[in-house]
Amino acid sequence: MRSAVITLAHGRHTHLRLQQEGLAHSTLGPDQYVVVSMGDPDIGAVTVDRKPSATVLDVPLREGRLPLAAARNAGAARAVEAAAELLVFLDVDCVPGASLLAGYARAAQDGALLCGTVAYLPPPPPDGYRLDALPDMAAPHPARPAPPDGVVLRGGDPRLFWSLSFAVTARTWTRIGGFCESYTGYGAEDTDFAATAALRGVDLRWVGGAPAYHQYHPTSHPPVQHLDDILRNGALYKRRWGSWPMEGWLHDFADQGLVEYVPATDTWRRS
């Protein structure tokens, strides 16, 4: 099965380099590595003359916001045009474990949306992360199922899907129809994708033996820097699906006095 790894990048050049290094040391290498630059003209220089060879696409920002949905669709389209049969999506922060591609390839099946485990790494040591040390640095995130190697859990809850690491066959990608490009900026486009997959009869499955390791970067909880994106994309999701996503963050924002809920219209807005 011809595979393609697709990642999106805007900054995070050090993270991208380690991801590429991880792919180079995989037990099963990808047939394609598609890196979609979102308004970052330096991405090509980051990946050039390194293995695996990268195809770099450029997708411009949309009104200053990251076009995450459109960029994933563009990367998948390029991969399919080049005859990829298995599409593996990795967040730029994620380093693939040595068995990630092989694990996804074993579990690949039309009609399945595959998610491997993701472990959140602590800050790197002074000399940076070492690939061979990553499995011992962090356990898989406890909020998601983590089956043992070789085990695939079927019938997963689509609300738990995350786009950090997932895979679909090209046929399943076409069946789902890709990501809704009305979403721009941070949040909800992956929740929408999983809801669409479920609506079209695609089963979410958790795959053991396909690990990824999320490199550390500073963040905030809740992500106040993305507040406007979350409100805008959350409202779009509400119009499409009838409920609000990311409610935990919305309630956290409300606790900080940043947003308020309007029961009469079932909406959230800035305070």
What are the structural domains, with CATH classification, of the chain?
3-214 (3.90.550.10), 224-270 (no CATH)
Residue 151: its pLDDT value, please?
98
pLDDT of residue 249: 95
pLDDT at 221: 86
* Cβ–Cβ under 8 Å, residues 61 and 41: no
- Structure confidence at residue 75 (pLDDT): 98
Residue 113's pLDDT is 98
Residue 235, CA distances (Å) to 69, 88, 157, 175, 231 in order? 16, 29, 22, 25, 6
- Within a 10 A sphere around the Cβ of 135, how many other Cβ atoms? 13
Residue 134: predicted pLDDT: 98
Task: Say if residue 269 is exposed, middle or buried (CB neighbours under 10 Å; 0-12, 13-18, 19+).
Answer: exposed
pLDDT under 50: residue ranges of the chain: none
Report the C-alpha gap between 108 and 209 in whole angstroms: 13
